[in-house]
Amino acid sequence: MTITNFLVAFAIAFCGWALQTSVSGITRKTVARIQKRYGPVWFQNFRDIFKLFSKRAVTHGWVYDFGVMMALGGIIGTAMFTPVANIVAFRGYDNFFIFIYLFAVGMLGMAMSAVGSGNPLASIGVMRALTQMVGYEVPFMIIIIALINVESTSSISKLVDIQQASGWNILVMPIGTIVGFICLMGMLGKKPFDTYIAPAELASGPMVEYGGKQLGMLMIMHEVATFVEISLFVNLFLGGGVTIFDFLIKYFLVYTLTSYISNVLGRFKIDQVIKFYYKVPIVLALIQAAMLIIFGWGVR
């Protein structure tokens, strides 16, 4: 473990942020064109973030600030473990469970900060976000545990290597990939799973009180988190990338697809989210796990 590893890791996190901010800008533009609008410039999100950092904000106490820092810190930490094509900062230690649980540090930080603002709308938003988490995490983890079982490794970079040698997981476990994609939509909070933000009902839920630098940091956190989630999907199901361009194309396609789907759907209520996840994806996930573990269908 040298200082180089840390620098590479930081570079991944930083470039991931820059990448995702640009990609989401491009998507905003294309979505606007589909809807016959002009749309903002592709670097609008960068503008927003830098504008927010120049503003003087309010604070609701120390936990309001500390939670924001914990959120951004946790998500940056997770992004630093993310393998991008053949660039892996900590080879062998990029364990799948780290992604789930280190990610949770960031989420906990944000939840804490939001509730610390004292606004009940933020509490309701956090309640919905956590409830939604129960929905999407369980099917996703079932798929991954089946994958780990048949490949005997939980290291993301090793799973990528295996896929590049002998076929992507989307071909080996198509049902699992569908479940993974539905869960990804939930993780990203894209419609129909944007219940916890729901601007019209909850005034943006957890984000209701934020402004200035705190909101800027949360926007950075959101972009980095999206980067981690999309990369995780690309690495787990689409074989990562042999080269960086390969990875970027897959990344762009997956994100654009989620955004387009999101733009044609309405919003679920929170109990509908849970009911949906415990009806369709979890059953599919169990079928896929049984196919892999019991029957050995699709095991290389």
Partner 1 sequence: MTVLNVIVALVVAGLIAYYVTTINKVAGSYITIIATVAALVLFLVNGDRILANDAIGIISFTVTPLGWFFTVIMLVVYSMVSFFNPYWMKKLLYPASYNMLYLLSLAGTLGVFMADSFVVLFIFWELVVWSSLFIIPFGKSRNASVVYYSMSTFGSFTMLYAIFLLYAKYDSFIIKDVLAMAGNDPGVALAAFILIIIAGLVKLGIFPFHIWLPMAHGNAPDTFSPILSGGLVKLGAFAAILVSTLLPIYEAFDNQPKIFGVPILIYGLMVLGAISIVVGTLMAIAQEDAKRLLAYSSVANAGYILIGILMYNQMAMSGALVHIFAHAVATAAAFLAIAAVSYRTGTTKMSELGGMIHKMPITYIVYLIAIISMAGIPPMAGFISKWLIFQALANQGLFLIAAAMFFGSVGSFLYVFRPLSAVFLGQLKPQHKDVKEAPIGMVIPMVILSGISLFYGIFPISLIDYTAKIEKALGFENVVETSGLVIKGNNGDLHATLITAIFAFGFFIALAIFMIAPKSRKVDLMDTYTAGEFLYTPDLYHYSYSYYAPFERLYQKHPDIVAIYAGLVQRITDFGSFIRYIFFSKRPSTGIFWIVLTMILLMWGEKL
Applying the rule CB under 8 A, the residues between 158 and 217 that interact with partner 1 are 203, 208-209, 212-214, 216-217
Sign of the alpha-carbon torsion through 104, 190, 193, 287: negative
The contact mask relative to partner 1 for 61-100 (x = CB under 8 A, - = no) is: xxx-x--xxxxxxxxxx--xx--------x-xx-xxxx--
How far is residue 111's CA from residue 218's CA, in Å, rounded to a whole number? 11
Q: Copy the structure tokens of residue 215.
A: 């909101």
- For residue 246, the minimal CB distance to partner 1 (Å) is 25
CB of 40 within 8 A of CB of 28?
yes
User: Interface with partner 1 includes 8 (CB under 8 A)?
Assistant: no
Shortest reach from residue 39's CB to partner 1, in Å: 28
Does residue 12 interact with partner 1 by CB under 8 A?
Answer: no
By the rule CB under 8 A, 7 interacts with partner 1: no
Please give the residues from 218 up to 257 whose contact with partner 1 meets the rule CB under 8 A: 220
Nearer to partner 1, 75 or 254 (CB): 75
The reply to whether 152 sits near partner 1 by the rule CB under 8 A is yes
42 binds partner 1 (CB under 8 A): no
Compute the distance between CA of residue 232 and CA of residue 251 in angstroms, rounded to an integer.
Answer: 10
Give the Å distances, CA to CA, from 188 to 19, 45, 63, 136, 161.
Answer: 16, 17, 25, 11, 26
Instruction: Measure Cα distances from 17 to 132, 183, 228, 288 in Å.
Output: 25, 22, 9, 33
Q: Which stretch binds partner 1 (CB under 8 A): 26-34, 174-182, 259-267, 270-278?
A: 270-278
CA distance 113 to 109: 6
The yes or no reply on residue 120 touching partner 1 (CB under 8 A) is yes
* Least distance between partner 1 and beta carbon 27 (Å): 25
Which of 106, 62, 63, 66 has the alpha carbon at shortest distance from 229?
A: 106
DSSP bridge partners of 95: 155
| Residue 252, token pair as written in the block | 């762009």
Tell me which residues in 43-62 interact with partner 1 (CB under 8 A).
53-62
| 196 vs 247 by CB, closer to partner 1 | 196
| C-beta of residue 196 within 8 angstroms of C-beta of residue 128 | yes
- CB nearer to partner 1: give 53 or 181: 53
142 touches partner 1 by CB under 8 A: yes
